[in-house]
Amino acid sequence: MKGTYRDIVENLPAPSCRFLPGDGTITPANKAYRECFGRTKKIPCLG
């Protein structure tokens, strides 16, 4: 089930991400978010 959820979020057309409490580090970010903000999977998304 977890893989299915991850696939759905990754393929959403709208930018989507989650933040760690405290320092605001963005943990998972979907493809739309990475494209919108010029990030790649290799470069961590930092808040």
Q: Which helix (H) or strand (E) holds 46?
A: none
What pLDDT is recorded for position 26? 80
Domain edges within the chain: 2-36
**pTM of the entire predicted model:** 0.65
| Closest C-alpha to 14, from 33, 39, 34, 40 | 33
Strand partners, 29: 17
Pairwise pLDDT comparison (34 vs 40), residue with the higher score: 34
Q: Taking 60 as the threshold, does the pLDDT of residue 46 lie above it?
A: no
